[in-house]
Structures are given as C-alpha cells and as structure tokens.
Amino acid sequence: MVGGKTFRLLEQALDAATYRQRLLADNIANAETPGYKRKDIAFSTHLRRALAGKVTHPKHIAINSEPGGPVATLVQESTARNDGNNVDIELEMAELAKNTLYYQGLARQASQYLANLRMVISEGRR
Amino acid sequence: MSFFSSFDISASGMTAQRLRMDLIANNLANANTTRTREGGPYQRQVPLFSSRDTAAPFPAFLAGAQRKAGGGVRVVGIVEDPAPPRLVYDPEHPDAREDGYVAYPNVNVVTEMTDLIAASRAYEANVTAFNAAKTMASLALDIGR
C-alpha cells in the first residue's frame, strides 16, 4: 500500500538524492576555498551496510533491511591543487547532472507506483 | 527542507563569486592609482573564502546530526596583497619618489583578467547547481500527479 516497502524504499532513495544534491552544491560553492575537502556519500559502504540485514543465505539480498540513512564522508586522500582543495569542478558538475537524472527516475517511479494504486482503487476503470 | 538549504548553499557560492568579481573590477579600475586615503599606491585586494558549517541551525537540527552537509561558502575577509608595488621610472610624475621612481599598484592586469574568467565560471557552476536543485524540487512536486 501507500506506506509499503516499495514506497518506503523510494522515499529513502529520494531523500538520499536530495542530501547528495546538497553535498554537491556545497562542493561547488567551495570550489575556490583553500583547504576545503570535497564531501560525498560513500555509496559502496552504504550499500554494504544496507545489505548486511536479514538474509538466510549469503547470496541473498535483503530487500526490507532499513538503511540508517546516508552519511557524508570527507574525501581526504586526493589533493589536486596547491591550496589543499580537492574539488574537481568537472566531476562535481557530472555528478550533479547524474544525481538530477537519478532523482527524476525515482520521482517517476514513485508516480508510477501511485498511478498503479489509483488504477487498483478505481477497479481498472479510468 | 533540504532543498531550501541546497538553494542557500548555491546562493552563498554565487554571493562569494560576485564579491570576488567586484574586487577584481576594483583592482582593474585602480590599476594605476598612486594615491589612496591611507597614502601610497593602491594595493590589490583579494577575498578570503572559508567553508561555512551550517546555513541555518533549525533544519540542521531537524535533519539530525548525521545529515551535516555544510552551509556553503563564506567570505571571512578582504585582504590586501602584500606584494611590493610596481616601480616605474618617471621623474616628471607628481608622485615620483626622490630617486625618480613612481610606485604603481601591485595589480597585474593579466592575473586579474584570468581571475575574472575563473570567477565567472565558478558563478555559472553555482547557477547550474541551483537549477539542478530547482528541477529536483519541481519533480518532487509532480510525484503522484
């Protein structure tokens, strides 16, 4: 239903994409700030944590596990410039474009989910 | 609302880059100014950027301590470039020193122009980030329509 697992997952993903947009905007705003280190969501660690949930077989993927929400991590290792700032503006813009499209996909999927529900409620009639 | 803080972050970047452009314009306008109120030639001014922790405390509190994203960029000050003045031999100049040299501002026009382009591009990048946030917000409004 409306509060079902699919919708909750979509909600969380939309939430994470919104958060990521904030991080990327912050990176772009600080592209010229000396000593600033770029922030991002470390997706792989996040996925691992999400998948660590309830599974009965190591090769199963837990669908209903609750991720604790995305966590921002500082990307410290690379220093691209003399001023200690490691923001690569091309990378940030590309990630920003990707994130917007990702969000668009999720929003459309949520719409589709709701449209399906509406169709069921109206018993298939228009 | 995370979207609004995203707007604020991009706006802070735009404000910072605009101030940078203002300073560059001022530097260029005063590239040959030999008299200032403080005495001596004009000195090149540069902005000092610093990252800001959170734009507004309430949304940050609402989102929980985990969701720290920073609050954009902040201009902590405008500093004068300590580089020595450019000396030009011109004994006829009213501001010439006793040895005949005139101290001109330490403004390098080429540096200022390249900085101007960099500031303009950085401003555009912030505008793009702002528009991306706006697109996402309007997409969210269309969910379930």
Going from N- to C-terminal start, the domains of chain B cover 2-141
A66 to chain B nearest CA, in Å? Answer: 16
Contact A26 B67 (CB under 8 A): no
Name residues whose C-beta falls within 8 Å of residue A29's C-beta, 6 or more positions apart in sequence: B9, B10, B12, B13, B16, B72, B73, B126, B129
- Which residues in A lie closer than 8 A to residue B68 (C-beta atoms)? 72
Could you state, in order of their start, the residue ranges of all structural domains in chain A? 5-121
Query: CA nearest A111 in B: which residue?
Result: B144
Q: Which of A15, A72, A89 lies at the smallest CB-CB distance from B125?
A: A89
Per-residue pLDDT band at A37 (split at 50, 70, 90) = confident
Which chain B residues are within 8 Å of A15, Cβ to Cβ? Answer: 2
What is the band of A69 on the pLDDT scale with cuts at 50, 70, 90? Answer: low
Q: Please say whether the beta carbons of A107 and B145 come within 8 A.
A: no
Examine the pLDDT at A23 and tell me if it is beyond 60: yes
A83 to chain B: closest CA residue: B49
pLDDT < 70 regions, chain B: 1-3, 54-69
